[in-house]
Amino acid sequence: MTSLLEHPRGAAPGQPGDRSAFSFEQHVRLPDSPTGKGRGGARYGRTGIIHTPHGDIKTPAFVPVATQAAMKAVLPEQMTQLGAQCLLSNAFHLFERPGPDVLDKAGGLAKFMNWDGPTFTDSGGFQVMSLGVGFKKTLAMDVTGMKSDDVIAKGHDRLAFVDEDGVTFKSPLNGSLHRFSAEISMGIQHQLGADIMFAFDELTTLMNTRRYQEESVERTFRWAKRCVAEHQRLTAGRLGRPYQALYGVVQGANYEDLRRRASAQISSLDFDGVGIGGAMEKRIIGDICAWICDEMPEERPRHVLGIAAVDDIFACAENGGDTFDCVAPARCGRNGAIFTRDGRYNIKRAANKYDFGPLEEGCTCYTCTHYSRAYVDHLLRSHEMNGFTLATIHNEHFFVTLLDEIRASIDGGYFDEYRGETLARFYANGSRG
């Protein structure tokens, strides 16, 4: 077994974490273009390296989501083998179980789940806010004529209530009442011990009114200032621990002025990086990234939260995204949706019952080099856990490799050609994703 990093960089006995153990090193940036979405035709896509106490992340990179300190049905060792550089876990779910004190006593998230590499945790903001309206985060929501600050998804009850200080919510596990605030989120994430964590923010939906979006941006800024103060206090007091980087989150929905205002606000604070968050319509997702990058210092890495559609990844990578996370590859795989260079297909179609070829011709992942479509189809139809494992390995490998190749294309000066060829092939048959 590969030994974990018992003493990560920047962790000296009796001393606060050394902030210099975290940094971003930019390598190659896309040339500006007459069609560039940034100010003056700027294209903010780039390659680089994020240096963390538990190792480096070559960017752009895909960050698989190990929600509860685990990739569902896939071991950390298998994630390493398929090429994943880092993993993201969910602060809200780990708060509910097993509790942040367990991970703290175990030596932090990476050691707890036997992952020898960098880790992220989100703030819990998305999960807590989504309890309020019952909607999943959706990029392409059609909200024409549906603006309302009291909207609730059909069949759901409001389980979260926002006020100036934070959020009160009912646990979806047992209905117990809990409270999240900037300080509480920081305390939980410090105990979880990830290399990169996010400030507590208010996630809105595209259905919220303009007035509410304005109020939310200002509230998120006030919470961000509290997060920075609490992060600095906890860093100074938790001696002998590696430094944990803190990213501020930019909200503002589809409004350019709000996104720019929020970006300027977040960039004015002492954050290590930025998270591009919130609900965004697919048609302007690249524009939103460019607006934010216009207002952000280039030395700060940028993480795009919850993105996994292939065209969205290209749009965000071209316009400044450095890292990307999403649950979709694993979740889709468990439901039989397989991503390939030629689009997404359903492995449980009748045509695959006697297909003894790989999930994708030419794919080098463990699943495709050892198992057939017919076998994975059988496993998923039979609800066998091995089917979840094999489908997830392939889908995660697809997205990890896609970002690896985007990185190589930027370094090699052929990003535009690679994007055009890849998207034309992927969507040739009207594929989703």
pLDDT band at residue 133 under the 50/70/90 scheme: very low
Q: Is 201 annotated as a binding residue?
A: yes
Give the side-chain half-sphere CA count within 13 A for 381: 13
Contact assessment for residue 258 and residue 214, using Cβ atoms and an 8 Å cutoff = yes
Q: Is 321 annotated as a binding residue?
A: no
pLDDT for the residue numbered 201: 93
Angle at 69 (CA atoms; ends 173, 97), nearest 5 degrees = 30
pLDDT band at residue 107 under the 50/70/90 scheme: very high
C-alpha 160/C-alpha 414 separation (Å) is: 47
158 by DSSP, 3-state: which?
A: coil
| For residues 60-75, average pLDDT | 97
Q: Is 365 annotated as a binding residue?
A: yes
Q: Is 412 annotated as a binding residue?
A: no
Q: In this predicted model, which residue has the larger pLDDT, 136 or 239? A: 239
Under 8 Å CB-to-CB from 172, ≥6 apart: which residues? 131, 159
**Per-residue tokens: 151:** 């909207």
pLDDT for the residue numbered 279: 81
pLDDT for the residue numbered 143: 43
Burial class from Cβ neighbours inside 10 Å (0-12, 13-18, 19+) for residue 106 reads: middle
Q: Is 26 annotated as a binding residue?
A: no
Tell me which architecture the domain covering 22-325 has in CATH: Alpha-Beta Barrel (3.20)
Q: Where do runs of H (alpha helix) occur along 170-284? A: 182-192, 210-237, 256-267
pLDDT band at residue 135 under the 50/70/90 scheme: very low
C-alpha 372/C-alpha 241 separation (Å) is: 46
C-alpha 40/C-alpha 8 separation (Å) is: 42
Q: Per mean pLDDT, which range of 143-152, 195-204, 286-295 is the poorest?
A: 143-152
Flag whether pLDDT at 142 surpasses 50. no
pLDDT band at residue 366 under the 50/70/90 scheme: very high
Q: Is 270 annotated as a binding residue?
A: no
**Per-residue tokens: 344:** 């997404």
Q: Is 227 annotated as a binding residue?
A: no
pLDDT band at residue 2 under the 50/70/90 scheme: low
pLDDT for the residue numbered 128: 64
pLDDT band at residue 237 under the 50/70/90 scheme: very high
Q: Is 125 annotated as a binding residue?
A: yes
| For residues 76-105, average pLDDT | 97
Angle at 130 (CA atoms; ends 212, 192), nearest 5 degrees = 115
Q: Is 289 annotated as a binding residue?
A: no
The rounded percent of the chain whose pLDDT value lies above 70 is 91
Domain ranges across the chain:
22-325, 327-423
Flag whether pLDDT at 121 surpasses 80. yes
pLDDT for the residue numbered 176: 87
Contact assessment for residue 47 and residue 27, using Cβ atoms and an 8 Å cutoff = yes
Q: Is 124 annotated as a binding residue?
A: yes
Q: Where do runs of H (alpha helix) occur along 97-209? A: 100-106, 109-112, 125-133, 182-192
pLDDT for the residue numbered 150: 56
Q: Is 368 annotated as a binding residue?
A: yes
Question: What's this model's pTM, rounded to 2 decimal places?
Answer: 0.94
pLDDT for the residue numbered 8: 86
Q: What is the 3-state secondary structure (H, E, C) of 135-150?
A: CCCCCCCCCCCCCCCC
Flag whether pLDDT at 136 surpasses 70. no
Say which DSSP state 349 is in.
S
pLDDT for the residue numbered 247: 98
Contact assessment for residue 289 and residue 316, using Cβ atoms and an 8 Å cutoff = yes
Active site residue ranges: 122, 325
